Structure 1
Amino acid sequence: MLSNNETICFWSGIMRDHEEFLTLSLSVNEMELIETANFFKEEFTKIHNLSNNNITGDFINEVMSLLVNFIEFKRYIIQKLLMCAINISLPPSFINHMINEAQEFYETLESIRRPKAVNTVEENIKLHKVWLPDSSGHATSLLMFIDAVEAFDREEARRFACDFNKLFIKANELGIMIDRTNMSNGALKYLNEQSKNKISDFIYFLSRIKELRIQCKLLGNLMPLIPDHMIREAQYYLSSIQSFNE
């Protein structure tokens, strides 16, 4: 399990990346939004650099306050996208995905600030319900950046998206059954194993895609930062799954 410092280091890096993606996708005509995105990028970079220091209550409160404004900024962008009133190359679901992760970071900070007894079964199910659709979204979004002629890699990305969706359906149904019966058997452990194996395979796939783009062998416009970002999130998910098996 990651320490509080490692957790904040991970999440602040993810938020920083989101703003990098945003600034690169916004039209130069959207200068005010670019400036706001750059502000958040700088703030999360500072947090990332300070994450190895002693984590105080005041520090956590500052980060949570920043996240509230960060989420509102993303909501504003989605509103503009839904009204077709913004020049940006990212779709609304991509921005919505950023909000989901920012909210997860916020909830994680809340649990650090106010620790409480944890139901490990519920937390285990929640982990899958957060990260399986997230992983599916990552696999699907790769199709935006990999050229259509790269049929084999595109098909592999689609298979990962499909597999993650299937596991999410299982996690959701299993969570309902456990909630209704207050019972848990080996099915959750098996789900952990299935998810662990699938996310491990996805990490390998992303690493290969990243290297191919660095070497300029894979056709498309995928920035290496994008699979790198996805790898870090997948590794976080994998580490979290393994913590439930300890």
Structure 2
Amino acid sequence: MLSQKKYVVLSLELHLFFARIMKEHALFLEAGFTPKNADYAKRADGFKVKFETLLFNVVNLSNGLIRPNVLASGEIVTDFTLGAEIKTQNFTGIPINQNITRMEAKLYSDYNASVTQKLVADVKKINNEAKVLIDGLITFKQDVLNGMLSCNMFTVNYPLLIEHILREAHLYRNYVEYIEQGVDIDSMDAKQTELFWDNIMLEHALFIRGLLDPSENGLIQTSNDFAFEYGKLLQSTEQATDATIASITDITLKQTMKYRDFKQAGTIGIAECKIRSIILPLLADHVLREANHYIRLLRMS
């Protein structure tokens, strides 16, 4: 079982990463609908607002409690997140609560931070609210995917991207449930974790490749190379034994750090209007944060 402090810390860290990811998924969905599906855009915006509220409440409870390695990882916010939000809001007209990002940038760690019974109760309430919200967003994403696959709906998002963000939502939902059951999500099976995130990284490369302007030949080729490398890592990890998984993890960490650097350069290039693409600045920062998150998980293995 988890100690009360570990329960609180794991819960808050999970939401700081994933609630932001979910609110951005909602925004990307909203931005991708056509005028015919204005009702879907409105529903997506509703989820964005609800996850912003959840994230705001989490941030307000988090000071002093988040571990230094999580704060330093770049998975909560990066140096580029606020600027990406400002640009994305300007491009889409979709409001983004940038105050949350400013608050997150000021979070700090304190080893002496105490956990009260009220805090435990507040976190349990947030976890329960999160489960309901995530379930709703999963249903919404599945509805969008079904509409696309039956050719009853058009959006500018790939069907694979909808499947991709569905898998991330299911993972988030499962992790909230695990914590509520007293499971230490820091100690999840390394092989299964790597299989999940290797596939996410591979698909990021495919999305980047497909959203770059056709004239960006060098970046398209690099994206293709990363997709190929993660495909090989998936095969190696599938075949790994308890005796060999550590060496695969080391290779994966080195590869993901290179990938992180590529994503960071892309985030900067898109922000500075030096890369031709149809990639929203916040999407570039979003996939960078996911790489940062994966790097932290790999370092913990």
* TM-score normalized by the length of structure 2: 0.74
Is residue 104 of structure 2 the alignment partner of residue 38 of structure 1? Answer: no
Residue aligning to 1:95? 162
Residue aligning to 2:194? 128
Structure 2: state its 5+ residue gaps. 1-5, 62-118
| Selected match of 1:104 from 171, 182, 191 | 171
* Greater relative contact order (CA < 8 Å, ≥ 6 in sequence): 2
Q: Tell me the CA shift for residue 195 of structure 1.
A: 0.8
Letter of the 1:50 counterpart: N
For each residue in 1:149-183, what CA deviation from the matched residue of structure 2 results, as whole angstroms up to 9, or x when unmatched? 11111100110011111101111122xxx4xxxxx
Q: Quote the Cα distance in structure 1 between the aligned partners of 2:272 and 2:191.
A: 39
Residue aligning to 1:114? 181
Structure 1: state its 5+ residue gaps. 179-183
User: Percent sequence identity over matched residues?
Assistant: 20
| Selected match of 1:86 from 139, 153, 167 | 153
| Selected match of 2:273 from 195, 213, 216 | 216
Distance 1:84 1:134, change over 3 A: same
Q: Quote the Cα distance in structure 2 between the aligned partners of 1:90 and 1:217.
A: 23
3-state SS of the aligned residue for 1:30?
helix
3-state SS of the aligned residue for 1:200?
helix
Letter of the 1:70 counterpart: L
- Provide the alpha-carbon RMSD of the alignment: 1.8
Is residue 56 of structure 2 the alignment partner of residue 49 of structure 1? Answer: yes
| Selected match of 2:236 from 170, 193, 216 | 170
Q: Quote the Cα distance in structure 2 between the aligned partners of 1:211 and 1:65.
A: 36
Q: Quote the Cα distance in structure 2 between the aligned partners of 1:220 and 1:46.
A: 31
Q: Quote the Cα distance in structure 2 between the aligned partners of 1:49 and 1:165.
A: 37
Residue aligning to 2:107? none
Residue aligning to 2:110? none
Q: Any residues of structure 2 matched to 1:44-83 within 5 Å, and which?
A: 44-52=51-59, 53=61, 54=119, 55-83=122-150
Structure 1 residue ranges, 4+ long, deviating more than 6 angstroms after superposition? none
Residue aligning to 1:242? 299
| Selected match of 2:15 from 5, 8, 18 | 8
Residue aligning to 2:227? 161
